[in-house]
Amino acid sequence: MAPRGAVETARAVAAGDLRAVDVLEEHLGAIRAREGEVHAFNLVTQDAARVHAAEIDARVAAGGAVGPLAGVVVALKDNMCTRGVPTTCSSRILEGWRPPYDATVVRRLAEADAVVVGKTNLDEFAMGSSTENSAFGPTRNPHDTSRVPGGSSGGSAAAVAAGMATVSLGSDTGGSIRQPAALCGLVGVKPTYGVVSRQGLVAFASSLDQIGPFARSVADAALVLETIGGHDPLDSTSIPAPAPTLGPALVEGVRGMRIGRVTDLPEGAEPEVLARLDEAVAALAAAGASIVDVTLPSLGYGLTAYYLIAPAEASSNLARYDGVRHGLRVDAPDVNAMYAATRAAGFGDEVKRRIMLGTYALSAGYYDAYYGKALKVRRLIADDFARAYGACDAILTPTSPTVAFPVGAKTSDPLTMYLCDVFTIPTNLAGHAAMSVPFGAGAHGLPVGVQVLAPALGEHAMFRVAAELERRAPAAGGR
């Protein structure tokens, strides 16, 4: 029997047909059974979760009102601040830090009566595509534990794929929700920049970061996005509008929609991944959409733009980790030596590499050649999308060029790892919406995701397409 989804759980808990404490214990049982081999979590907050679930049940029993995610078990990527609960970003430099406030998304989940079960593993400071760059060890793919779950939100993806949480939150700077969703056979959403508040999300690259949900169904992802989205006065980049209403999009179908098929996609995707994409396009055509050929000639240059812009922003954002206000300090006779020693001891190799790359790209003499040029490429990519969306309502591409790869396969060469993000990065550069939807299996029977891209605030169109793909998706294979 398929595990219960968020929509069904919330409805049953609110009606008194299902107890939140029992839902929670099912998930804690899954954690006990599989966490040893998967390592999805940095911290399981079972005591607080049990108290919270019992409180929800008591409220239902007393005839009180409960929120739209009543009793839904949710896991949080460990780069979202939780008051009094350790928030590490999977980095030694923040080990033991307990934030003095909750992220806005954490507050909104609590107000909706979701039950937080723990904080999930990630590539350190969300820098990576495999969740191998964690100071606390790698997360494994529940479909095949010799393989990675993708990253950087690999723990949040693995937790949902292994039934340890019903839904989870990740953050997506260059594909960190969509790529692990694809590799773990889940729905993963990168909302339009500004739809979900970043307040309390530890900043990696502020012009690219966005929080979004992982779920086992499009409807569950929609419910979570409706709950966490909407204007937040505490985030100056938050769009001053309510969260999107997505219920109608789930049942409208795609008849009359124009779906873009990219004729000049960057090369490198596995043949099975491209075959699933073709089948997804055909499925939408069969459902009444018209297929339009579009070109995105600058798309392949997104990788370069991203790997200059994101490290540049990170080098600035991560300057705050200096041994003064939180986490680790390595003692030294003067303050400058203390900063440098603390940061050298606290950051892992990939974080140091990106800080160095970003600092170099911003430094005098190199700014125009690297960072300045990257910003112009970013504009070309946004212009490409603007042209394409003149002819179509949504675009289909692969999410990841490959299915889940073996642990250790790409750790020796950073550039090889960066190529995992070639199809997901352009969305972040443009600030648009995109999501990955499971669509059959690829090599070794592993899950394949198809990516649905939509323009800024195009969530309605995006979820129409995603729901149709879900209805027409082939089975995910034998695993």
Partner 1 sequence: MPDTTRGGDADSSRAADPAATLSPEVVAKVARLARLALGDDEVVRMTAQLAGMLAHFHDVDALDLAGVQPMSRPYEMVNVLRDDEPAPSLDRDEVLAAAPDAADGRFRVPPIVGLEG
Query: What 8-state DSSP symbol labels residue 196?
Result: B
CA gap 360, 358 in Å, rounded:
5
Catalytic residue among 176, 238, 315, 436: 176
Other beta carbons within 10 angstroms of residue 76's beta carbon come to 31
Burial class (CB in 10 A: 0-12, 13-18, 19+), 188: buried
Which tokens belong to 262?
């990219």
Q: Based on the residue annotation, tell me whether 146 is a catalytic residue of this protein.
A: no
Q: How far is the CB of 295 from partner 1 (least distance, A)?
A: 9
CA gap 161, 145 in Å, rounded:
12
Q: Based on the residue annotation, tell me whether 376 is a catalytic residue of this protein.
A: no
Which tokens belong to 334?
């003067």
CB nearer to partner 1: give 245 or 336: 336
CB nearer to partner 1: give 97 or 204: 97
CA gap 417, 212 in Å, rounded:
22
Q: For residues 347 and 134, is the Cβ–Cβ distance under 8 A?
A: no
CB nearer to partner 1: give 273 or 377: 377
- Maximal C-alpha separation, the chain: 71
CB nearer to partner 1: give 268 or 445: 268
Query: Residue 213 in 3-state DSSP?
Result: strand
Catalytic residue among 134, 152, 156, 197: 152
CB nearer to partner 1: give 343 or 410: 343
CB nearer to partner 1: give 12 or 332: 332
Q: How far is the CB of 323 from partner 1 (least distance, A)?
A: 6
Other beta carbons within 10 angstroms of residue 253's beta carbon come to 17
Q: How far is the CB of 13 from partner 1 (least distance, A)?
A: 32
Query: Residue 325 in 3-state DSSP?
Result: coil
Q: How far is the CB of 313 from partner 1 (least distance, A)?
A: 9
CB nearer to partner 1: give 27 or 432: 432
Number of H helices, E strands in the chain: 16, 11
Does a cis peptide bond (omega within 30 degrees of 0) precede residue 436? Answer: no
Q: How far is the CB of 44 from partner 1 (least distance, A)?
A: 22
CA gap 133, 130 in Å, rounded:
7
Which tokens belong to 105?
């998304």
Catalytic residue among 77, 119, 190, 410: 77
Q: How far is the CB of 96 from partner 1 (least distance, A)?
A: 8
Q: For residues 141 and 148, is the Cβ–Cβ distance under 8 A?
A: yes
Query: Residue 141 in 3-state DSSP?
Result: strand
Q: For residues 206 and 161, is the Cβ–Cβ distance under 8 A?
A: no
**Gyration radius from the chain CA atoms:** 21
Q: For residues 206 and 312, is the Cβ–Cβ distance under 8 A?
A: no
Residue with tokens 């939807």: 437
Q: Give buried/exposed letters for 212-243 (b at 16+ CB in 10 A, else e).
A: bbbbbbbbbbbbbbbbbbbebeebeebbeeeb
Q: How far is the CB of 414 from partner 1 (least distance, A)?
A: 6
Strand order across the beta sheet in which 115-120 lies: 41-44, 115-120, 73-77, 167-171, 211-215, 187-190, 433-441, 447-454, 394-398, 258-262, 290-294
Q: Which residues contact 411 (CB under 8 A, 6 or more apart)?
A: 130, 132, 417
Strands 433-441 and 187-190 come out as antiparallel
Q: Is 450 left (phi over 0), alpha (psi -120 to 50) or beta?
A: beta
CB nearer to partner 1: give 51 or 369: 369
CB nearer to partner 1: give 274 or 382: 382
Report, as residue numbers or ranges, the catalytic residues.
77, 152, 176
